[in-house]
């Protein structure tokens, strides 16, 4: 039982990092950015490229190198997210939501198959693979690499929460989410705040991509498709538009997958996860921490 809980929390931390980007963008723009999962894939390949340029890295320095690459990748994917917003979404600001949704799907395919052209269709082996010793805590076998990645993920989520709740940009984000027109009248630079939102969300997704590549050791150009849908599911479960809900939803989905895989079998993992999404959309569409919002007219 303890092992199932730990496995669920570990996988759920990846879902939570990516789900935060979905929730941030939706909270401000009411946009489902389906290209967000592919930013995660772009982060994995960016980390792969940077480590490849660095050449051979001694095993003793692998963790330090990975942390440096993590920061560089977050910057790269952050700017990539800003570019996607500027090119694909900003020109359609004010257009019907269906047009923006179709554009988001198109941006997702452009990133996926652009990477296929650039890196090839075959999976790549990540240059740095985190291993390390394992130890037992309350009956659960935990590896050092899992613990390090979990600490990094929780740290990033804590920094994001402090950024949104305690900085002027964070207040502007919350203001735009509450009332877009009033924020404009108060002199808030809405375009700049939206760009920063895409930067932060994309940087977190890129960090998750590097961490996944280092832990699983294998990356491919379609790796962001399923995990992007699962992160979206996590955001819905927690309450899309709610940052704490995205964190909670990621952990809940990870736990549900872990227990569902144990009782139903690994082949039912994705079926179980998306089945849970359908149940939430049917019986609690606002999610665990979401609230019903009355549209202003």
d(CA 260, CA 285): 22
By CB atoms closer than 10 A (0-12, 13-18, 19+), residue 117 is: exposed
What phi, psi does 198 have (nearest 5°)? -65, -40
Q: What is the pLDDT of residue 132?
A: 64
d(CA 264, CA 282): 23
Strands (DSSP E) contained in the chain are: 124-125, 134-137, 140-143, 218-219
Domains of the chain from N-terminus onward: 2-283 (1.10.3470)
| Residue recorded with tokens 């144990």 | 262
| DSSP H or E segment with residue 97 | helix 97-119
| Residue recorded with tokens 């130890």 | 135
Q: What is the pLDDT of residues 120-147, one digit of tens each?
A: 889 998 887 766 677 677 777 777 777 8
List, in order, residues 6 or more apart from 253 with CB less than 8 Å away.
Answer: 12, 15, 230, 233, 234, 237, 273, 276
Give the ranges where 35-61 is alpha helix by DSSP (H).
36-54
Q: Please answer whether residues 164 and 173 qualify as being in contact, where contact means their C-beta atoms are separated by less than 8 angstroms.
A: yes
Q: What does each of the 297 residues of the chain score in pLDDT, given as a tens digit?
A: 788 888 888 888 888 888 888 888 888 878 888 888 899 999 999 988 888 887 666 555 667 778 888 899 999 999 999 999 999 888 888 788 888 889 999 999 999 999 999 988 899 988 877 666 776 777 777 777 778 778 888 888 888 888 888 888 888 888 888 887 888 888 888 888 889 999 998 999 998 888 888 888 889 998 888 888 888 888 888 888 788 888 888 888 888 888 888 887 777 788 878 888 888 888 888 888 865 544 443
Q: What is the pLDDT of residue 42?
A: 93
What phi, psi does 141 have (nearest 5°)? -85, 115
Q: Please answer whether residues 44 and 209 qualify as being in contact, where contact means their C-beta atoms are separated by less than 8 angstroms.
A: yes
Task: Please give the C-alpha separations between residue 31 and each of 36, 89, 98, 154, 267, in angstroms, as whole numbers.
Answer: 11, 9, 10, 26, 32
| Residue recorded with tokens 């994309």 | 202
Give the ranges where 167-242 is alpha helix by DSSP (H).
168-178, 180-185, 190-216, 223-238
Q: What is the pLDDT of residue 188?
A: 84
Q: What is the pLDDT of residues 255-293, one digit of tens each?
A: 888 888 888 777 778 887 888 888 888 888 888 886 554
Task: Please give the C-alpha separations between residue 188 and each of 27, 90, 173, 193, 295, in angstroms, as whole numbers.
Answer: 16, 17, 10, 8, 22
SS3 135: strand
């Amino acid at each position: 039982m303890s092992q199932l809980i730990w496995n669920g929390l570990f996988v759920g931390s990846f879902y939570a990092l990516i789900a935060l980007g979905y929730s941030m963008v939706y909270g401000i723009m009411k946009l489902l950015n389906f290209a967000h999962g592919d930013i995660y894939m772009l982060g994995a390949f960016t980390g792969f490229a940077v480590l490849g340029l660095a050449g051979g890295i001694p095993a003793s320095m692998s963790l330090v190198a990975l942390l440096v690459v993590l920061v560089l990748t977050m910057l790269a994917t952050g700017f990539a997210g800003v570019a996607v917003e500027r090119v694909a979404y900003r020109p359609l600001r004010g257009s019907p939501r269906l047009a923006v949704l179709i554009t988001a799907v198109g941006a997702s395919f452009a990133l996926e198959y652009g990477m296929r052209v650039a890196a090839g269709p075959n999976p790549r082996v990540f240059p740095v693979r985190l291993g390390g010793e394992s130890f037992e805590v309350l009956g659960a076998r935990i590896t050092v690499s899992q613990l390090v990645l979990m600490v990094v993920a929780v740290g990033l989520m804590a920094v994001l929460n402090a950024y949104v709740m305690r900085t002027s940009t964070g207040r502007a984000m919350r203001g735009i989410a509450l009332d877009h027109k009033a924020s404009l009248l108060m002199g808030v630079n809405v375009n700049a705040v939206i760009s920063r939102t895409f930067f932060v969300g994309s940087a977190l997704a890129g960090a998750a991509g590097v961490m996944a590549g280092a832990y699983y050791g294998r990356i491919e150009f379609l790796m962001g498709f399923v995990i992007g849908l699962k992160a979206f599911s996590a955001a819905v479960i927690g309450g899309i538009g709610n940052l704490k809900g995205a964190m909670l939803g990621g952990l809940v989905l990870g736990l549900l997958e872990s227990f569902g895989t144990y009782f139903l079998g690994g082949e039912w993992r994705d079926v179980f996860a998306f089945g849970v999404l359908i149940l939430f959309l049917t019986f609690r569409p606002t999610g665990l921490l979401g609230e019903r919002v009355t549209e202003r007219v």
